[in-house]
Amino acid sequence: MVKLKVKNVNFNYASVPILKDVCIELDRSEMLGVVGPNGAGKSTLLRCIDRILSPQEGCILLDGRDIKDMHLMELAKKVAYIPQSATQVFPATVFDTVLMGRRPHVGWRSSEEDLEKVLDTLQMMHIEDLAMRDINEVSGGQQQKIFIACALAQEPDVLLLDEPTSNLDIKHQLEVLDIIKYIVVERGISAIMAIHDLNLAARYADRILMMNGGHIYAAGVPSSVLTPENINQAYGVEVEVINHNGRLYVLPLRPVGK
C-alpha cells in the first residue's frame, strides 16, 4: 500500500524554480534515499512534505489525503522531520527535549507511558547517560542523536531525515542508520533520507532518488541509480562503482575534465 505520494510538485523561491515536477511514491517499511549535488532540491522536498513550505503546484498525499487538508497537529502525529542541525536550542534537559516528541499525542500532560517511551528511545539511541544533561552542553554529534530520538519518540508513520549523519563520526553514522533501518522495517513506517554520502545511501536505502537542478534525474534500486554514468552527469565527477559481497561502493576518481 502506498503510504506517501508526491504528485507533480513544483516549488519556487521568489522566481527561482527549486523543485520541478517531482513525483514520488513511498510504501510502508521502505526507506528512500534522496541524493544529488548541493542545490538539487533535496532539503526543499523534505520541507514541502512536512508542510514547512507550500508547493506552488502539485500535491502531497498521505494515506490518500492531501496534507493541505490536515490540521498541523494531526500531521505532526504522522510525520516527523529532522533538520540538518538546530540553529537555536532552548535550555532543557535531554530527557525533556525528547519528551517534546510526545506532544502531538498527549498535549502538555505526560503520562507514565510517555515517560517510559522516552526512556526506551534514549536507551535505543545509546544516550540514556545524557538524560539529565542540558542539551546545550553536549556535542553537535550528541545533539543530532537527541533530535533523532525526539522524532522516534513521536512514533510517526513517515520519518523525514535531512542529512542525519552530518555531525556524526563513522561509528555513530552506522549505529544511527542501523537503528533507523530497524525501526522502518519493524514498525512498518516509511522514511525519506536526504544524504550526501552515496555509500551510506547504497547501504541503507531500498530505493534511491537522484536529483539534479530540481528534477528527478534517476530513480530506482541503488544498483540502477548509482552508476558511473549517472554520477558523472549529476555531480560532474568520474567514479568507479564496485560491487563487493553484494554491496555497492562508490569510489571518487576525479572531477570531470581533470
CATH topology of domain 2-255: Rossmann fold (3.40.50)
Model pTM score: 0.92
Tens digits of residue pLDDT in 140-162: 888 889 999 999 999 999 999 99
**Band of pLDDT at residue 86, cut at 50, 70 and 90:** low
**So what's the pLDDT on residue 89?**
65
Measured CA to CA, the distance from residue 50 to residue 130 in angstroms comes to: 29
**So what's the pLDDT on residue 87?**
54
How large is the average pLDDT for residues 108-127?
88
CB 1 within 8 A of CB 28: yes
How large is the average pLDDT for residues 24-31?
96
Taken in order 46, 51, 54, 55, the sign of the CA dihedral is positive
